[in-house]
Amino acid sequence: MEVYQAILKRRTIRIFKDKKIPKKILEKLINAGRLAPSARNLQPLEYIIIDNPKICDSVFKYVYFGGQVEKLRTRENSPVTYILVLVNKKIRSDGFEHDVGLATENIVLAAFEKGIGSCIMRAFNRRKLIKILKIPQKYFLDLIIALGYPAEKPTIFEGKLKKYWRDKKGILHLPKRKLKKILHWNKI
């Protein structure tokens, strides 16, 4: 699949099939994140893969997928894997946000190529997860990537910007601003 086509087709997935992701694929996803550009090549990011069902259940309790999705979420259709993106504060304590974004995009695009859906989350109970997972203080838990094989196929629409919604068939519709509204040539 061409990269541009993957970008056009990839959507955030919030409802997943109960099917395990092979460890080899998960290692490749982390490698894709590792190879992302890093400011001053400091490489402050580290990752925890959570794929043990019991630990996934613990994480599941403290991550939030958004209003309409929360109503549909059950343990049976929840992510089978989480990747926690950590910043090693001894390497870099601020200004790491671009590193996180670049690595995360590499991970979700590599996942999409393998037929794996993803949801990038910053809405979670950081304090509880740090405690449950015994994450040392030298790390900042920046975001979580939920992964699994998709059990839904969201679609986009262009129009007035508003919140996403589900239709009567359960299809998630995501608003996107029109290209002509955000693209400016040589001046704003």
Whether residue 163 sits in one domain with residue 147: no
Q: Whole domain around residue 172: which residue ranges?
A: 154-188
CATH of the domain at 145: 3.40.109.10
Domain at 188, CATH number: 2.20.180
Residues 98 and 40 in one domain: yes
Q: What is the pLDDT along the chain (188 residues), one digit of tens a residue?
A: 799 999 999 999 989 999 999 999 999 999 999 999 999 999 999 999 999 999 999 999 999 876 655 556 667 789 999 999 999 999 999 999 999 999 999 999 999 999 999 999 999 999 999 999 999 999 999 999 999 999 999 988 887 767 777 888 888 888 888 888 889 999 98
CA torsion sign for 146, 7, 101, 26 is: positive
Q: Beta strands 172-176 and 155-158: pairing type? A: parallel
Do 70 and 143 belong to one domain? yes
DSSP state of 115: T
Number of domain units in the chain: 2
